[in-house]
Structure formats: C-alpha cells, structure tokens
Amino acid sequence: MAKVSLLIHDLEAAVSPKGHGPLRGGSLGELNIHSPASVAISGDRIVAVGHPKEVMDGIPCGAEYESLDGRGKVALPGLVDCHAHPAFLGDRAGDFELRASGARYEEIHTSGGGIRSTVAATRAGTEAELTAAVEKHLGWMFSHGTTSAEAKSGYGLDLASELKSLRAIRNAGASSPVDVHPTFLGAHTVPPEFESAAEYAEFVIQEVLPEAATLARAADVFLERGSFEAPESRRYLKACRGYGLTLRIHGDQFSERGAISLAIELGACSIDHLENTSDEGARILARSDVAAVLLPACALFLDLPLPPARLLADEGAIVALATDFNPGSSFCESLPLVMNLACTRLKLSPAEALTACTANAAHVLGLNGVGRLAPGYRADVLVLDAPDWRYLAYHLGGDRFAARIKSGKLSGPRSRQT
C-alpha cells in the first residue's frame, strides 16, 4: 500500500455507491457497506477501505500518519452539487415576501423582477465583491458536506459581467476547499436592453461565447416561456458545443417545450428541473444517456409540482440530485436537506439519493475518480457523527459532520499517531 498519510479507523461503517461510472435502473441504489471499517488515505487518494484489521495489516509497522478515531461514526463520499448558481450579488428577500403573499415566481419574472433584479445587482458589483460572495457561498456548501460543485454564471448577461462572473468563480475556486466546475449560463434570460430572445442569443453567440468558453467547462440555457424557446436554445447550444463545452439544459420547469428532445438531439449531458415533465417525456429521457438532474429544494421553494423521480428511476434514467442554490428559486446550499426531500417527497430510497448526489452527480460534472469511497478515488470523505449512514438524509437540518476531508486534508478534530 502507498505511504498512508491519514487513517480513519474503527468506523461503524464506510458506505459508498458500488461500481464505476453512473448507476441506473436496479443499480441506482446499490451500495458497498463495509462494517466495521477503516479508510486509509495517501496524499489526495483513497488507498484502502475495508475491515479495520485488513486495512491495518496493509500498513507497515512503525509508519507515521495522522489518525482520526471513527468509533460510533460513519464515512461517506464527499457530496457533489452538480447544479448551483453561487455567482450573484444582492438577494431576493423581497421576492420571497411577495411570494409569501401569493405572487407567483413567473409573474415576478414577467414584471421585470426576479432574475433581472439579480442581474442588476451583479452587474453593479466589482470582481472582488463577486469573488467574495462566491467564496462565502462555497463555504456554506462545504459546511453541508459538498466537496465538489458546479458554479454557473448567468447573472451578468453582458460581455464584461459574464466574464467577471466566470473569473470570480475561478478565483473563489482557487481559495475554496470545494472543487469548482464553471458553467457558462449566458442564456439565462433576456436582459432588458434586448428586444427579443433571438436577438440576445445572437449577441451571446457572437460576442460573449468566444471568451466565456476559455473560462468554462459547460454551457447551459433556460429553455422556458419568457426566456428561450427551443430554436434559440438549439442555436446557442450548438455554438457552445463548437467550442468544446459540455451541454446542460434547464428544462420543463414550468412547461414542456421540447427540452428533452433537444437534449437528446444534441447529446447534452443533462436536463435539469423536470417539474412539469409528462410520463411520456420521463420514459423517453430514461432510455437516453442524458442525465435527469432533480432539484427538489427548488420545487419546495417555489411550490412547484414534483418531478417524476420514481418513474425516471424505475425506467432506468441516470438520476442525479442537486441544490440549484440561487437567490430566487432555491436559496438552499444543503445537499443533506435535498436528500431528505428526495426520500420524503420524491420517494427515492436513501441509497438512491446517496448515489444521486455522489457518483451520478460526479458523472454530470464529467469527474472521474470522484464520488465513491474506493481505492484510487479522490480522498473527499465525510465523517458523519452518527451510527448509521442513513442519518445523512434522515436528520433534517443540524450540523452532522465530525470531520470533512477534502483531497486528503482534514478539517475537524485530529490526533497524531504512530
């Protein structure tokens, strides 16, 4: 075994999705549960997971390493948030209050508020202010167990502000414990200085995309009435694909308007939301290789119908879960809360929910070697202060981690041992 740098020993259990790559169908909820267990880490990689005696037998006598007492605790893979919008300034507390008195999200959007008010606040700030905001949001995510996250732009919607957002994401990622994956959401909505979606989409493709593509790994569009219809979305996504970006679509959030067929036609990596997807749409999506990213905190926050999660899972879709963290439709950075909603509202099992925000979410972000507790995987490990791994979803709210380990580095209690 490679030289061990950190040993988490005598855990109640170490729990991970089985296999490799994304899991679907009957495999979605298949876990490896080692109990009792130790986890050995060398640098930023996991080198052994198994019975404490077997793991110890693989470590040479007299070796020096940092050690963490796992008694009464459980180790799990760090969580992967594959859909999040942390690059914004200002807030939407006013919208939240309006909605509490009966206004609907789409009405606020149509009357010029909603996303457009966050665009105004984000444009008005400096790159340093936006970097600080992204850092703060990533810190919140890390405290809830997220060790890798997507970060979308999309609150700039002009050349300078989109590039400012993508640079703020890059800068914040460099100093954050969370591994950050930037997505260009140039087609989030039509900003007020443009007359039509088609005219704005053309501007984005010609003026913003060439530079944005140097800072992003993926591209995304909000395909919805009041934002972009399928023809503009197709043009934008094809242009993004031409720059080598992976494709994502916000689709079927309020209405079905061709998002699933477009995603399949273009070989998109995921379609996200799906609150208004019909059973027929769910079956078509489930048979494809386009992942279904479900965002139950957004459905809760906006009081939307729930996505057809059980049907998608049963028909064999690559199901992932994410927070959709943003100021307007899901001011929620907690994947454990999302897992709770997945179990209580979407009727996924705790095991399916775990795979959906670890191994399957890593697949959506194009990450190999992330999202499992297994030798060779990156040492992103959560130590849950509970005797049963299901507490991760079962315990609604609260600080539940004894330690968070990112790329082999421990944040939390530690002790030196030989």
Q: Which parts of this chain interact with Fe ion (CB under 5 A)?
A: 324
Asked whether position 254 contacts ligand NIG by CB under 6 A, the answer is: no
Tell me the window of 42-50, 238-246, 325-333, 393-401 that interacts with ligand NIG (CB under 6 A): 325-333
- Which one of Fe ion, ligand NIG, none interacts with residue 115, CB within 5 to 8 A by kind? ligand NIG
Binding-residue pattern over the window 305 to 324 for ligand NIG, x denoting contact by CB under 6 A: -------------------x
Determine which residue in the list 200, 222, 389, 401 makes contact with ligand NIG, applying CB under 6 A: 222
Q: Which two tokens stand for residue 417?
A: 């041992």
CB atoms inside a 10 Å sphere around CB 97: 10
- CA dihedral sign of residues 268, 269, 274, 279: positive
Angle, nearest 10°, between helix axes 259-266 and 279-286? 10
Residue 113 binds ligand NIG, judged by CB under 6 A: no
Question: Token pair 């008005």 is at which residue?
Answer: 124
Sheet holding 13-17, edge to edge: 31-34, 13-17, 74-77, 381-384, 401-406, 409-411
Taking the complex as a whole, how short is the minimal distance between the CB of residue 266 and Fe ion, in angstroms? 19
Minimum Å gap between C-beta 82 and ligand NIG is 12
Residue 253: contacted member of ligand NIG, Fe ion, none (CB under 5 to 8 Å, by partner type): ligand NIG
Q: 105 vs 377, which CB is nearer to Fe ion?
A: 105
82 binds ligand NIG (CB under 6 A): no
- CB nearer Fe ion, residue 158 or residue 324: 324
Residue 413 three-state SS:
coil
Binder among 166, 298, 379, 402 for ligand NIG (CB under 6 A): 298
Question: Least separation, in Å, of the C-beta of 152 and ligand NIG?
Answer: 8
Alpha-carbon gap, residue 240 to 4, rounded angstroms: 43
CA distance 187 to 249: 10
**With contact defined as beta carbons under 8 Å apart, do 154 and 185 qualify?**
yes
Candidate residues 250, 363, 372, 404; the one interacting with ligand NIG per rule CB under 6 A: 250
CA angle 319, 275, 144 (to 5 degrees): 60
Which residue's Cβ has the minimum distance to ligand NIG? 328
For tokens 């999309």, the residue is 154
Which does residue 277 touch among ligand NIG, Fe ion, none (CB within 5 to 8 A, set by kind)? none
Question: What is the Cα–Cα distance from 112 to 245, expressed in whole angstroms?
Answer: 30
**Contact indicator for 48, 55 with CB cutoff of 8 Å:** yes
For the bound state, the minimum distance from the C-beta of residue 108 to Fe ion, rounded and expressed in Å, comes to 16
Please identify which residue in 307, 328, 350, 408 interacts with ligand NIG, judged by CB under 6 A.
Answer: 328
Instruction: For the beta carbon of residue 414, count every other beta carbon within 10 angstroms.
Output: 13
| Candidate list 176, 329, 334, 358; residue touching ligand NIG; CB under 6 A | 329
Contact between 115 and ligand NIG per CB under 6 A: yes
* Nearest-approach distance from CB 272 to Fe ion, in angstroms: 6
Is 406 within 8 Å of 381 (Cβ atoms)?
Answer: no
Under the criterion CB under 6 A, does residue 177 sit at the interface with ligand NIG? no
Contacts of 169 (CB under 8 A, 6+ apart): 86, 87, 134, 151, 153, 180, 182, 215
Specify the residue, 253 or 276, whose C-beta has the smaller distance to ligand NIG: 253
> Among all residues, whose Cβ is closest to Fe ion?
324
Among 8, 141, 17, 7, CA closest to 389: 17
228 touches ligand NIG (CB under 6 A): no
161 binds ligand NIG (CB under 6 A): no
Residue 118's binding partner among ligand NIG, Fe ion, none (Cβ under 5 to 8 angstroms by kind) is: ligand NIG
Residues in touch with ligand NIG (CB under 6 A):
85, 114-115, 118, 222, 250, 253, 298, 324, 326-329
